[in-house]
Amino acid sequence: MSGGDAIPEFSKSKTGDGHEVSLTNLSAFASGPGIKSGKEVAAILAVAVIIIGGIELALRLFHVPLYIMPPPSSIAYALFDEFPLIAPHLGYTLVELVSGFTIGAIIGLVLAAVITQFPFAEKIVAPYILLLVTTPMLALVPLLILRFGFGYTPRIIAVALAAGPMVMINAATGFRRVDSAKIALARSYGASTLQIFWKIRAPMALPMILVGLMIGAIFGLLTAVGAEMVGGGFGLGNRLTTYSSMIQMPQFFAVVLILSTLGILIYVLFFLIGKKWASWEA
Amino acid sequence: MNTGDARNPKLGVQAATKIYHTASGDLLALDRCSLDVSANEIVSIVGPSGCGKTTLLWSMSGLHSLTSGEIRLDGKTITGPHPDIGIVFQEANLLPWRNLDANIRFPFEIKGEKPDRAWIAHLLNRVGLDGFGGKFPRELSGGMQQRAAIVRALALKPSVLLMDEPFGALDSFTREEMNRLVEEIWLDTKTTIVFITHSIEEAIFLSDRVVVLSARPGRVAKEYRVPFARPRSLEIMATKEVFDLTNRIKMDIVGERTRPKAPERPSAEIVRIRP
C-alpha cells in the first residue's frame, strides 16, 4: 500500500528546480549587456560599415574574380534585382518548413509527453529516438523522392523527420524534470494526474520545449534546403544549385543571405517567445 | 495530557508505521508512532535529522500512505489529501511561473472553485503582502515567499495547518518575525497547527506542546508542555523556564544521536528490515 511513495526530498540540487537549463543561456543576446544608447548603436553600425566596406575594398583592390567571391555591393544589388524571381522559391521553402515542422513538432511533443509517463517504455524506446536524432534525415531524401516524386511530399516528410526527434528529445528532458514538492503541492489539493500534467509538468517543461522547438525548426530549415538541392525544380535550395551551376555568384550569395536571415528569424522568434513565457527560469 | 478532549483529538496518529522501499533496501522511517493533536492546539515536532519528521507530516496530510497504523481527522480515518488540511512546505514551494496572485489562486483552480477574494485580501493584508500580487516568486525575498505560501495554505480555510520546516531557510531575524506572524494568524483563526522544525527555540516559542521524536525509526520519545499565555512576547525566551526546557530538549535529541550503537548493526543510519 505504501510502496509507491518516494522519500520526501527537498534539497535544491535534486528537485530539478530548473536553474540548470534555460533558454536564455543559449542566447547571444542575453549574454550581452543590451544596447543602451545611441552612441553604442552608432559604434556597432560603424564597425559593420568598416568590415563590409573593407571586404568590398579588398575584393576590388586585388581584382578577385566575381565567380570566386562577389563583393558585398554586387550581392546587395543581386538581392534587390533578383528578389521578384527568388521570392516564390522563398515561399515554397517556407511552406515545406512550416508544414513539416508543425507535423514533426506535434508528433514529437505528444510522444515526449506520453513516453515520459512510462519510464520503462522510455528505456526501451530511447535508443531508437537517439538513432532518429543522430541520423541525418537528408540521407533519406533520395529514397523519399523515389517513393513520392519531386513534389512537396518528400520534403515535408524529411523536415518532419528532422524536426520531430529534436523536439521530442528536448521536450522529454523537460517532462522528466520532476519536482516532487510541487507535485505534492498539487496532490495536496486533490489534483488529478491530468491536472498535475497541465498545471505542473507542462509549465516546468516549457523552457526545454522551447529549446527543442528552436533547434527542431533550424534543423528543419537545413533539411528543407538540402532536400531541395537533391531534387525537384523549386525552393531556395534549388536556386542555390541553379545559380551555382550558372556561375551566378552574386545571386547565389543573395540566396545564402536570405537563408541566414531565415535562421536568425527562427532564433529570434523562439527567443522572444521564451522571454515572454519562460522568463521565470532565467 | 491534552487540554482539549483527549479522547476526541482533532488529528490523531495511531501506531503509524512507514517503510520506504528504496533501491538500497527497505527503510523503516516511522515505527508505531502515536500522537494526538487537539483542536486549536499548536504542536511542534522536533527530533534528530532524518528521524522521520517530514514523513510523519506527509502521512498526516494524506500525501503518503502508511504501511500500518492510521491517521484520523475528527475521528475519521483519512486515506488521501483532505480539503480540511492545509500544508506549508519547506522553502515556500511557490510555482515560479505564476505570479503571487496566480499562486494563491492555484488551489482553487485545482478544485474548480471560485476564490474567496475578500478572505484572500484579508490574509494578504495580515501577512503584509498588499500590492505584491503581480510579483513573481523570484522577485520576492525568502520571507515574503513563505508568507505567500502561508496565505495559499490558509486561503481554503483548512481547520488543520501542517507546516514542514517552513522557516528553515530563513535568517534568524526573519524567522522570529515569521514566528510572531504564525502566532498572530493562530490568534485570528485558531487553526490547529502541527509544526515541524529544527529549531528548539522556534518550537518552544510557538507551541502549546513540543513533541520530541527519537532517531530513526521515528517514535514519540518525549513530550513537553509550554505553559505561557498568548500572545507571547520574545521576552519569554529569556526566562529560566525556557532556558531549562531548551536544554532538556537538546539533551533528548543529542542523547538520541549519540546513543551507543548496537555492534551487530553495521549501518546505524539505515535500519534494514528482513524480508
pLDDT, one tens digit per residue, over A75-120 is 999 999 999 999 999 999 999 999 999 999 999 999 999 998 888 8
Give the domain-ending residue among B156, B184, B199.
B156
CATH number at B202 reads 3.40.50.300
Residue B62 burial (C-beta neighbours within 10 Å; 0-12, 13-18, 19+): buried
Residue B204 lies in a domain: yes
pLDDT, one tens digit per residue, over B152-189 is 999 988 999 999 999 988 888 888 888 999 999 999 88
User: A275 to chain B: which residues are within 8 Å by CB?
Assistant: none
Give residue B110's domain range: 94-156
A194 touches chain B (CB under 8 A): no
Phi (first) and psi of residue A185, to 5 degrees? -60, -50
Residue B258 lies in a domain: yes
**Are B127 and B262 part of one and the same domain?**
no
Radius of gyration of chain A (CA): 24
Radius of gyration of chain B (CA): 19
- Give the number of domains in chain B: 2
Residue A44 lies in a domain: no
- Give the number of domains in chain A: 1
Do B63 and A184 make contact, defined as CB atoms within 8 angstroms? Answer: yes
Among the listed residues A87, A161, A96, A97, the one whose alpha carbon sits nearest the alpha carbon of residue A129: A161
State whether residue B126 is helix, strand or coil. helix
Walk along chain A (282 residues) and give the pLDDT tens digit of each residue. 444 676 665 544 433 344 444 444 444 444 445 666 788 889 999 999 999 999 999 999 999 888 888 999 999 999 999 999 999 999 999 999 999 999 999 999 999 999 988 888 888 888 888 898 888 888 999 999 999 988 899 999 999 999 999 999 999 999 988 888 899 999 999 899 899 999 999 999 999 999 999 999 999 999 999 999 988 789 999 999 999 999 999 999 999 999 999 999 999 999 999 888 887 775
A3 touches chain B (CB under 8 A): yes
Walk along chain B (275 residues) and give the pLDDT tens digit of each residue. 444 455 678 888 888 888 888 888 888 888 888 889 998 999 999 988 877 888 889 888 888 888 888 888 988 888 888 888 999 998 889 999 999 999 999 999 999 989 889 999 999 988 888 889 899 998 898 889 999 999 999 998 899 999 999 998 888 888 888 899 999 999 988 899 999 998 999 999 999 999 998 887 888 888 999 888 888 888 888 888 889 889 889 888 887 555 555 544 444 444 455 44
The identity of residue B104, as a single letter, is: I
The interface pTM score, or ipTM, of the predicted complex is: 0.82
**Are B109 and B206 part of one and the same domain?**
no
Give the domain-ending residue among B135, B156, B177.
B156
**Whole-number average pLDDT of chain B:** 85
Residue A110 lies in a domain: yes
pLDDT for position B66: 86
Q: Which residue numbers of B have CB closer than 8 Å to A's CBs?
A: 18-22, 27, 29, 54-55, 58, 61-67, 80-81, 83, 85, 87, 89-91, 93, 95-97, 106-107, 109-111, 136-138, 156, 164
Calculate ∠ Cα A29-A30-A36, nearest 5°.
Answer: 75
Q: Nearest CA of chain A to the CA of B109: how many Å?
A: 9
Give the domain-ending residue among B111, B129, B156.
B156
Q: What is the DSSP string of A232-244?
A: -S-SHHHHHHHHH
pLDDT, one tens digit per residue, over B192-208 is 999 999 899 999 999 99
Using CB atoms, pick whichever of A3, A190, A278 lies closest to residue B81: A190
**Are B183 and B61 part of one and the same domain?**
yes
pLDDT for position B268: 45
List residues bridging with B161 in a β-sheet.
Answer: B86, B193
